[in-house]
Structure 1
């Protein structure tokens, strides 16, 4: 691992650099007769390296605006002619494409977000998303023209290209990472998800499940009811629907939501007994691991979902809790199983900073806490 900050991996430099800008320029040269490729690269690179990732997208789009036709309808044709081939449709769980295509989407927002350009813009978004996901771009149109954009998304639910179908779900997600919020009520896209939940492509169904997981953070009952309805419809393959349910309910399961657990086949308050948590050592150092174990015994045959929660002290003296997955078990009547876990305590974790002091581990089974015990973390 590099220790010098200057040697650390830079996502913005990996995605947007002179080589990638040169590739974009080559695309534009192939689609626009007389395009000034070298001058375009020079103009982009003149100030791009001083910018952050999102700013680089915006900057390239702004420079692009100086080279495309001032008439947006004509510029849309130029962009269409410059696009690379669509992503490989034989890869049914493909990634969302090459980031250097993102400035095309930003250009559509900058120049095409107007009523007179709406139809052309949406068609262009459909074309671009076959090369790079336009999940951020479509959100600007959902916020500005929700009725018209939702109607277009309704059409795209049955599009032959699964990247377009995925955009319907991903673009309307309430909590899409690194994206502006949309002004839709969380219930509004449900009719779109109803159509997409039976999609044959994992890339689409993963987005649908992630979309439901977003909704679960504010409307858990709506998510459980929606999944119950999909199960009753029987339109999706059983194994795929079970995967979607597990993925969509992951936040609710960690919270011990009984409706979510029951849908997944885990009964509330199972007839089990847990022994006290035992540590290999109750004092551990940052950048080492805490090791613990316990026994679970069942009176009757039962399926168990075992998680553990750690309460971490913060710099302000409060505690922050986080639930971690442990394992699923199927116990026979009278059976006892020993569960062991080694949890790393990394001092350089990107999510939050560890602080010395008393930490509490609690074992949660089918949403109910059964045992807890403390250990001490030292420098």
Structure 2
């Protein structure tokens, strides 16, 4: 990522707001695109990413009817063509097209539920409405789940993905939902057999969310799906690995077994060496790992870095290293270069003692200390 890159400016800028103004002008006769553009741009710079979505909706509202049914008709009339149904993956849409979802929540949640859900249905074919279905799940849980059950059968894969993504217990950036986190499981039972990776990735991420508070339920469900045989075996294998990634890092025995690994694998760590035990922020921790075994053993090798927090305590973060096999007659040597970012957006580096540990099939086999320089 280039230095100085800001996602909010990449998504919302003069060009993208100009595109949005032109789209509404094309769909709504008499729409004052110049005024809308000026208003949005005047308040854009000082706002963060998610606040910019709300600001765009704020600036759009004065140009639309006050009554929600008429507003919804206008929003649909200005929608761009649906996202390409042939891509079938990684086609999230443009953030500038979030306004229908925001306005559906503002003006349709209480008194126009069905029309608002219709609007979300159309809008999610252009930009995922995963953030905006959640207030409806909170306010109208039974009715919204019933609508989602219909959408799980929809021909459009963006609609089907919304069913899983919008009901995730721990959806990033999104507001919380208050329904029973296991209530959507029947929807996942339907969607796990989907033929589109964009949908099955969401189902797997959803299961990974659930695994953080109901791990055995997740492994049991994956077992049932395997027995049902509704999904292509190769795709279900991929889904299983993706859904169990947190449990594997935690060494959950049932997850490891489902993936064909033993938690008590007879592997020895015979070397864990660092090129240097002092690393400056922005530098790299370079390690060499050697594993040996007396019999052929399939392994998932991870490494933990125990980062120093501001309060001086250490907290671990697990990273993937290798999935493979240790042969009885040949040690497995692995090398890793891990850059300690000096300006990471999700955490800060603090000087002092840290440590790195190697775990095999969820079991820590050894660790060494290193120092992050100030």
Q: Which residue is 1:128 aligned to?
A: 123
Stretches of structure 2 lacking an aligned partner (at least 5 in a row): none
Aligned CA distance change for structure 1 residues 23 and 285 (closer, same or farther; 3 Å): closer
User: How big is the shift at 1:192?
Assistant: 0.5
Q: Which residue is 1:96 aligned to?
A: 92
Q: Among residues 304, 310, 315, which one is paired with 1:309 in the alignment?
A: 304
Aligned CA distance change for structure 1 residues 114 and 275 (closer, same or farther; 3 Å): same
Q: Among residues 127, 134, 141, which one is paired with 2:136 in the alignment?
A: 141
Q: Which residue is 2:104 aligned to?
A: 108
Q: Secondary structure at the match of 2:354?
A: strand
Aligned-residue RMSD, C-alpha: 1.7
Deviation digits for residues 10-46 of structure 1 (CA, Å, limit 9, x no counterpart): 3222222333222222222222222222222233333
Please say if 1:271 is aligned against 2:266: yes
CA contact (8 A) 1:273 1:297 kept: yes
Q: Among residues 189, 198, 203, which one is paired with 1:194 in the alignment?
A: 189
CA distance in 1, matches of 2:195, 2:132: 25
User: How big is the shift at 1:353?
Assistant: 2.0
Between 1:28-37 and 1:150-159, the stretch displaced more is 28-37
Q: Which residue is 2:113 aligned to?
A: 118
CA contact (8 A) 2:358 2:364 kept: yes
Please say if 1:55 is aligned against 2:51: yes
Aligned CA distance change for structure 1 residues 286 and 114 (closer, same or farther; 3 Å): closer
Aligned CA distance change for structure 1 residues 349 and 42 (closer, same or farther; 3 Å): closer
- When normalised by structure 2's length, the TM-score is 0.95
Q: Among residues 22, 27, 34, which one is paired with 2:30 in the alignment?
A: 34
Q: Which residue is 1:167 aligned to?
A: 162
Aligned CA distance change for structure 1 residues 358 and 60 (closer, same or farther; 3 Å): closer
CA distance in 2, matches of 1:108, 1:370: 53
User: How big is the shift at 1:2?
Assistant: 7.5
CA distance in 1, matches of 2:24, 2:94: 15
CA distance in 2, matches of 1:370, 1:87: 48
In the TM superposition, 1:146-225 aligns within 5 A as 146-225=141-220
Q: Which residue is 2:350 aligned to?
A: 355
Please say if 1:282 is aligned against 2:277: yes
Aligned CA distance change for structure 1 residues 15 and 330 (closer, same or farther; 3 Å): same
In the TM superposition, 1:59-78 aligns within 5 A as 59-78=55-74
CA distance in 2, matches of 1:281, 1:146: 55
State the aligned residue count: 374
User: How big is the shift at 1:297?
Assistant: 1.6
CA contact (8 A) 1:268 1:366 kept: yes
Deviation digits for residues 199-238 of structure 1 (CA, Å, limit 9, x no counterpart): 0001001111111111111111111111111111111111
CA contact (8 A) 2:271 2:291 kept: no
In the TM superposition, 1:222-261 aligns within 5 A as 222-261=217-256
CA distance in 1, matches of 2:372, 2:31: 62
CA contact (8 A) 1:32 1:81 kept: yes
Q: Secondary structure at the match of 1:70?
A: coil
